[in-house]
Structure 1
Amino acid sequence: MRLTIEELLKKIYSSKYTPSTLTELARKMNIHDKTKRRILRSLLKELVESGKIIKDSRGRYVVPGENITTGYIKFSRKGLGAMVSTEDGEQIYIGAEDTGFALDGDKVLVEKGGRFRDIARGKVIKILKRKREKIVGTFITKGLFAFVIPDDIRIKYDFYIPPENYNNAKPDEKVVIRITRYPTRGKNPEGIVEKVLGTVEDPAVDLPSIVFKHELPEPGWFPEDVLKEAKRVSHEPDSAEKNKRKDFAKEPIFTIDGEDAKDFDDAIGIKKLPNGNFLLGVHIADVSHYVKEGSRLDHEAYERGTSVYLLDTVIPMLPFQLSNNICSLREGVDRLTLSLEMEISPTGKLVDYKISEGFIRSARRLTYNEVNRFLRGDKDPELHEKLNPVKEELLAARELAAILRDWRKKRGSVMDISSREVKILTNKKGNVIDIIPQERGESEVMIEEFMIKANETVAEIFANQGLPFVYRIHEEPDSDALFQLKNYLEAIGLNIKMPRNIHPKVLQQILEKTKEHPLHSSIERVVVRSMKRAIYSEQNVGHFGLASEAYTHFTSPIRRYPDLVVHRLLKKLIRKNMFSQKEIEKYEEILPKIADHCSKRERIANEAEWDLLDMKKVEYMGYHIGEHFNAVITGVTKFGLFVEIPEKMISGLVHISTLDDYYEFDEKANILIGKRRKGIFRIGDELVVQAVRADKTTMEIDFIIVEDEKKSNSKSRKKSSKRKKRAR
């Protein structure tokens, strides 16, 4: 008889079972054959790793208690503990003292007990599976010993490197190590240097450090069989294929993207109809025609989940033959599309829509800069000559975008928070020479409105029919986050009622009412922090930030795997007008896994992008030690003030030990209060600070408040406080 997991679980979960070792269990199950015993050992190991059973300190296999669960641990960047996410979606808070010897990303066994705010609290009792086999960090020496300090600040251990494992690494070099021993009581984890990337200060080392740290594919690399398949399918659309599709080739359709864009996966066409309505066409690259479900291309795209944009380097989801060529809606060439035509009234209401498998020939490849100049009234003759074929369309697009934006505002969307992005400027050697804010112009907002409308329209089709689908969801903020937001607003003198059942319009009104407030940008930041992260899900709970009942990602299948899945589902629906029961069952099973995987891959991509930006910001500050900057307080803790230089979006710490008084932390009011002079520091206060340290090894920036400037700011804070009291 073949031994199975089901049979083994039935035995262990039986009321007659008593905790047993491998030998005892084999005897109870009459397993004496060496091969079957080896299978038993393998199945037990699998069950332990999944958390369905536990191996105790005496080597016995036991059933977990009802307060025992498994999940993946994610540490806070600020050392404030960790969160464990279970397979059924539960979030469990783990205090810093209860994380055991877990590292970020490990699969752990957790014992639940008590509450932390409004979620369960727990303690790590066993590490089931280690996530990390390699670490990127800085090689340092301390006397006769050598260690590697991890780049990832969520890893709180330094890794000891024995002399025989240096592999020619030198102090202050960035290295990749393979972990040879994980942390245990009283002992540092150990490793062996596998690769030396270069010196910490060399800007050329930053990109590979991020790639290794986040276990991303090397830029430009794909498995050989994936490249062969990409080459095989990358053929120009032939007449037979085009004859099956709707012909948009003679219509004035165009793309608008950034100056450096190489992959164009969305194009628009627009015109006014005789009845006064607008006909908006959103034409998206038909990637699903080339990347078939179950193919090697599909498998690789799924594993990557998304393209990763690391400053001027892209790690694409698809090989360049597809992303930059056959799927890219380039000017003047025929390209296959999935095209959504929407008839929209002058009030912004969707009157009708039609989805077609089509092909287009983009009339113009425009940039945001060019369109913004045109809409601002730039008279440059060369610009007007280039835009001549689509001028009327651009003016109609501007009109419709304003209508759609107003429509969103009326329903309460809070996603109009000003974009806070920066551009890193470097010299030929890669050194950062400046960091400048990136402002969104009218054309960027215009395209965003059209893509939002397209995504909502597609999502509503599936939501209305109750069919399996991948939604982009954004849940309501939790009560604790709203409580913190309310406390912050009250602390700066704004008495705004926060209803128990929050609607996005409430947050929109907060932003509207504080538009002219001197701390508006700070208020914006706190509002953003109060909201949850948008993720992918097979369950439609709506999109809180957009005040949308149903939302998805349909418009970027070249760079996002969920969009590719949405295209496949949409094509099945428009071809047959229904799903078979077999298809429904198939997608109900696989879509939750796809949504969860893609949410995780998106998070990894985001963190890689943020980490590289942070690295460049630390480098920039390293060149400006001793200089003064205008800053705003973004966080108050018992150990000091987190401050940000707004125009550079550079954050750092003013340590409490550098302040001019003995300050105590009022946790309830979230302020620091001076014991002798009674000075107060709170979120939103504006300061002048001096950069005193920028460390690329620890990724830390330290500031001090400039004494003479700080005094004048202190006076202005007291005046500001008086004004707020009068306002109340």
Structure 2
Amino acid sequence: MSQFSSDFKEKIISALSDGKKLTLKEICKTLQIKDRVKKKELRKVIKLLLGEGEIFRDNRGRYTKIGEDFVLGTIEFTRRGNMAFVSSENGKEVAIFVENSAGAIHGDKVLVEITGKWRHLPLGRIVKIVERTRDKIVGVFQLKRSFGFVIPDDSKIIYDFYVPIEKIDGAKPGQKVIAKITRWPSRGRNPEAEIVSVLGDIKDPKTDIPSIMAKYGLDENFPEDVMKEIKRLPETVNEDEMKDRKDFRNTLVFTIDGENAKDFDDAVSIKKISKDKFLLSVHIADVSHYVQEGSAIDREAFHRGTSVYLLDKVVPMLPFKLSNNLCSLVEGKDRLTFTVQMVIDREGNTVDYEISPSVIRSKKRLTYTLVNQYFSGDESAKKKLGKRICSSLNRMLELSEILREYRRRRGAILDIEGGEVDIIIDEKGRTVDILPRRRGPAEVLIEEFMIKANETVAEVFHNAGLPFVYRVHEEPDPEFLIQLKEYVEALGLKVKFPKQIHPGVLQQLLEAVKDHPLRSSVEKLLVRSMKRAIYSALNVGHFGLASFAYTHFTSPIRRYPDLVVHRLLKLYLSQGGRFTPKQIEFYSQHLPRIAEHCSKRERLADEAEWDLLAMKKVEYISRYMGKVFNAVITNVTRFGLFVEIPEKLISGLIHISTLNDYFIYDEKKNILIGERSGKVFKIGDLIKAKVVNANKISGEIDFELVEEKENAVEKN
């Protein structure tokens, strides 16, 4: 923002002080602005102030300053829809009772008046819905005699939508539909909608991905202005574009990715420069060369924030020509890159580095499967790879183990598998199998190299004190760590939690449960106990990685923050390691907004992926209704037992009402005790559980306990 704009900002806020409400015309008159250029600048600043929550515009077009008792933010309802919370851009959070939500829908931008306190948060009521953030909903259509209604898939939307009989558009009861909202909810009256698209039967697996995409507003198609710019891009990299770039085309560079990967934004090469030193080079696609700041492609990439992966479908951040062709480091093709070269000693220390624009030609597209086969001694894999690549892989494996040990010494959390699964589907989209995902040395190798490159780039900007986008991860809240401690102690394990928690303690915990049947449950609880990693213009370090400066630089094809980091790096290198005062002011203003937006888009993408996985798990288990599985108790509550089928990582609830006794919950010991039988249920118990209900929309599964005498167990 220019100094001119900064002055405007202060003058506008001053003009709107003391509760004044002014139209745009009245603001111009108050500030004595008549010049057309200045009026245009004024409108820009007002738009910025609206976005920052400093002012708001009422229904009569009057602007006013938001006072201390008011908060502008986004409303988010809980999954059960019985409570809501409004979060502002500056991090302030206000609790809202549903009866005070004034017809707001999950995701709306609202103005809240603070009226009291609720637990540790301010309590408020919504006084104005500033912006509706959706115009469509996805859900299940149901029919009454004279009208229809849509029950939203998203349980955070607390209303059913009335559909007039003439607006049903051929939808049948039990079908998934997309409906356009035609009237918003008001006191005592449900909202209205009209059916615009029928996705199909709720039980048809082919409706799953379209339902998720509609629910989260994901679109695989790009706007017309974006595609026009895409057409103007070249088909190949030409010689002029390679000028003034470090040339690695004759170096043994290759990619290592998953079997089904379509875009390749990182490649690696290695050289042993002495007995005790390695030269590791990480080459990342230079997306910033093609996506110019402020272009239609850039605006759409920012809006999307990230690519979203929905099983075999990708909703990309960038159009195919960029993501799968020009920017993708495909085998045998010249590609523009950014290269981070790091000299690393045997202790894992980076003793020297160089970052430069570059050009590479990948010699081979390797897969994790093939590389893991080679590392396990498979001779056929060795032949496929060839002597030179095998030699490089050996050095890489050696260095990755050094880097991993280096991170272990500094206290990083290394061993979380994350409870991830691979969903195997057939050509009709039906779930064939669910397999827990296991990482081999190839996956670990790439992870270590990418972490090292990300840290190296982040440290450049941290040490220079320049505006930047960091990937940060704050320390866990103490109350969540207490829950984790109690959970682990319920397993019979003793782990000391010091007052000053550090990630090394949590790593020791993971090592303690390495062979425990509840390892995945401990990992999940550990992940929940830690705060979510986000993007931030303020560097507070990365707790989980035990890193004092970290960023995302290595995936610019699928993550917008990485693209921004590339631009900042390019500017830094071209200007001799400095920014002008004007650039510092500009990025100091804009990077926090970019970080906030991208964090939200990442969260939305994660929720879309998790929802789809939950649906697929329900679909899979629905075929085994009435079957009995070996299961483990993962948590005990006053209303029942949470259990998991370990081989499939499928979880569900055994409700206390289905148990053959009256059970009392001992909160201190976290156990259920049968009043008559004296039977005790605790975390970690191995039981037999029968599948009795599975809801595909909510993703919830219900089990019943099977007594020992019933021994027909489904092999899994």
Normalised to the residue count of structure 2, the TM-score between the two structures is: 0.89
Native 8 Å contact 1:327 1:335 kept in 2: yes
Native 8 Å contact 1:469 1:591 kept in 2: yes
Native 8 Å contact 2:137 2:215 kept in 1: yes
Q: Specify the alignment match of 1:650 in structure 2.
A: 650
| Residue 120 (structure 1) shift | 4.2
| Residue 250 (structure 1) shift | 0.9
Assess, with a 3 A threshold, how the Cα gap between structure 1 residues 444 and 7 changes in structure 2: closer, same or farther. closer
Between 247-256 and 652-661, the greater mean CA deviation after superposition: 652-661
Distance in 2, Cα, partners of 1:575 & 1:6: 34
Alpha-carbon RMSD across the aligned residues, in angstroms, is: 3.2
Assess, with a 3 A threshold, how the Cα gap between structure 1 residues 541 and 47 changes in structure 2: closer, same or farther. closer
Q: What residue identity is the alignment partner of 1:410?
A: R
| Residue 106 (structure 1) shift | 1.7
Q: Specify the alignment match of 1:586 in structure 2.
A: 586
SS in structure 2 at match of 1:505: helix
Native 8 Å contact 1:174 1:196 kept in 2: yes
Distance in 2, Cα, partners of 1:98 & 1:74: 13
1:586-625 equivalences in 2 (<5 Å): 586-625=586-625
Q: What residue identity is the alignment partner of 2:167?
A: N
Assess, with a 3 A threshold, how the Cα gap between structure 1 residues 656 and 100 changes in structure 2: closer, same or farther. farther
| Residue 122 (structure 1) shift | 4.3
Indicate whether 1:250 and 2:254 are aligned.
no
Native 8 Å contact 1:522 1:684 kept in 2: no
Assess, with a 3 A threshold, how the Cα gap between structure 1 residues 667 and 48 changes in structure 2: closer, same or farther. farther
Native 8 Å contact 1:138 1:697 kept in 2: no
Q: What residue identity is the alignment partner of 1:88?
A: N
Indicate whether 1:519 and 2:518 are aligned.
yes
Assess, with a 3 A threshold, how the Cα gap between structure 1 residues 80 and 387 changes in structure 2: closer, same or farther. farther
SS in structure 2 at match of 1:654: strand
Native 8 Å contact 1:54 1:64 kept in 2: no
Indicate whether 1:420 and 2:419 are aligned.
yes
1:427-466 equivalences in 2 (<5 Å): 427-466=426-465
Native 8 Å contact 1:284 1:337 kept in 2: yes
Distance in 1, Cα, partners of 2:569 & 2:365: 27
Assess, with a 3 A threshold, how the Cα gap between structure 1 residues 710 and 282 changes in structure 2: closer, same or farther. farther
Q: Specify the alignment match of 2:362 in structure 1.
A: 362
Distance in 2, Cα, partners of 1:121 & 1:665: 31
| Residue 52 (structure 1) shift | 4.1
SS in structure 2 at match of 1:161: strand
Offset from partner CA, 1:12-34 (integer Å, 9 cap, x none): 6337x6xx999xx99x99xxxxx
| Residue 131 (structure 1) shift | 2.2
Q: Specify the alignment match of 2:536 in structure 1.
A: 537
Indicate whether 1:568 and 2:567 are aligned.
yes
Distance in 1, Cα, partners of 2:83 & 2:492: 31
Native 8 Å contact 2:109 2:132 kept in 1: yes
Assess, with a 3 A threshold, how the Cα gap between structure 1 residues 21 and 641 changes in structure 2: closer, same or farther. farther
Distance in 1, Cα, partners of 2:466 & 2:116: 39
Distance in 2, Cα, partners of 1:324 & 1:383: 28
1:324-343 equivalences in 2 (<5 Å): 324-343=324-343
Between 193-202 and 465-474, the greater mean CA deviation after superposition: 193-202
Assess, with a 3 A threshold, how the Cα gap between structure 1 residues 460 and 51 changes in structure 2: closer, same or farther. closer
| Residue 708 (structure 1) shift | 3.0
Distance in 2, Cα, partners of 1:700 & 1:512: 31
Equivalent residue in structure 2 for 1:153, among 155, 167, 172: 155
Offset from partner CA, 1:295-347 (integer Å, 9 cap, x none): 22211111111111111011111111111111111111211110011000011
| Residue 580 (structure 1) shift | 1.2
Q: How many residues align?
A: 688
| Residue 629 (structure 1) shift | 1.9
Distance in 2, Cα, partners of 1:552 & 1:696: 37
Distance in 1, Cα, partners of 2:64 & 2:361: 65
Indicate whether 1:66 and 2:68 are aligned.
yes
Native 8 Å contact 1:49 1:129 kept in 2: no
Assess, with a 3 A threshold, how the Cα gap between structure 1 residues 707 and 127 changes in structure 2: closer, same or farther. farther
Assess, with a 3 A threshold, how the Cα gap between structure 1 residues 244 and 155 changes in structure 2: closer, same or farther. same
Distance in 2, Cα, partners of 1:566 & 1:462: 10
SS in structure 1 at match of 2:107: coil
Native 8 Å contact 2:637 2:670 kept in 1: yes
Distance in 2, Cα, partners of 1:170 & 1:440: 45
Native 8 Å contact 2:81 2:157 kept in 1: no
| Residue 669 (structure 1) shift | 5.0
Q: Specify the alignment match of 2:184 in structure 1.
A: 182
Native 8 Å contact 1:695 1:701 kept in 2: yes
Q: What residue identity is the alignment partner of 1:370?
A: L
Unaligned runs of 5+ in 2: 1-7, 31-42
Q: Specify the alignment match of 2:474 in structure 1.
A: 475
Distance in 2, Cα, partners of 1:62 & 1:298: 33
SS in structure 2 at match of 1:708: coil
| Residue 102 (structure 1) shift | 3.0
Distance in 2, Cα, partners of 1:585 & 1:7: 19
Distance in 1, Cα, partners of 2:270 & 2:327: 22
Q: Specify the alignment match of 2:17 in structure 1.
A: 13
Between 143-152 and 613-622, the greater mean CA deviation after superposition: 143-152
Native 8 Å contact 1:234 1:290 kept in 2: no
Between 675-684 and 171-180, the greater mean CA deviation after superposition: 675-684
Unaligned runs of 5+ in 1: 30-39, 714-728
Q: Specify the alignment match of 2:140 in structure 1.
A: 138
1:286-325 equivalences in 2 (<5 Å): 286-325=286-325
Indicate whether 1:272 and 2:304 are aligned.
no
| Residue 514 (structure 1) shift | 3.0
Distance in 2, Cα, partners of 1:405 & 1:115: 46
Q: Specify the alignment match of 1:33 in structure 2.
A: none
Distance in 2, Cα, partners of 1:8 & 1:444: 54
| Residue 175 (structure 1) shift | 0.5
Native 8 Å contact 1:51 1:69 kept in 2: no
Equivalent residue in structure 1 for 2:83, among 81, 84, 106: 81
SS in structure 2 at match of 1:565: helix
| Residue 98 (structure 1) shift | 5.5
| Residue 595 (structure 1) shift | 0.7
Q: Specify the alignment match of 2:130 in structure 1.
A: 128
Offset from partner CA, 1:581-614 (integer Å, 9 cap, x none): 1111111111111111111111111111111111
SS in structure 2 at match of 1:620: helix
Q: Specify the alignment match of 2:409 in structure 1.
A: 410
SS in structure 2 at match of 1:273: strand
Indicate whether 1:216 and 2:218 are aligned.
yes
Distance in 2, Cα, partners of 1:335 & 1:192: 48
| Residue 501 (structure 1) shift | 2.7
| Residue 275 (structure 1) shift | 4.4
Q: Specify the alignment match of 1:717 in structure 2.
A: none
Distance in 1, Cα, partners of 2:583 & 2:531: 32
| Residue 135 (structure 1) shift | 0.6
Q: Specify the alignment match of 1:726 in structure 2.
A: none
Task: State percent identity of aligned pairs.
Answer: 55
Indicate whether 1:232 and 2:232 are aligned.
yes
Q: What residue identity is the alignment partner of 1:651?
A: S
Native 8 Å contact 1:54 1:63 kept in 2: no
Native 8 Å contact 1:253 1:269 kept in 2: yes
Offset from partner CA, 1:252-301 (integer Å, 9 cap, x none): 11100111111111000012112420110001111111111122221111
Q: What residue identity is the alignment partner of 1:404?
A: L
Between 252-261 and 82-91, the greater mean CA deviation after superposition: 82-91
Offset from partner CA, 1:611-663 (integer Å, 9 cap, x none): 11112112112222111222233444443333322322222222222122233
Distance in 2, Cα, partners of 1:637 & 1:112: 34
Distance in 2, Cα, partners of 1:403 & 1:486: 31
Assess, with a 3 A threshold, how the Cα gap between structure 1 residues 669 and 92 changes in structure 2: closer, same or farther. farther
Native 8 Å contact 1:259 1:368 kept in 2: yes
Distance in 2, Cα, partners of 1:204 & 1:239: 46
Distance in 1, Cα, partners of 2:622 & 2:187: 37
Distance in 1, Cα, partners of 2:102 & 2:680: 37
| Residue 704 (structure 1) shift | 1.2
Q: What residue identity is the alignment partner of 2:417?
A: S
Between 144-153 and 338-347, the greater mean CA deviation after superposition: 144-153
| Residue 664 (structure 1) shift | 4.1
Q: Specify the alignment match of 1:397 in structure 2.
A: 396
| Residue 48 (structure 1) shift | 12
Assess, with a 3 A threshold, how the Cα gap between structure 1 residues 664 and 187 changes in structure 2: closer, same or farther. farther
Normalised to the residue count of structure 1, the TM-score between the two structures is: 0.87
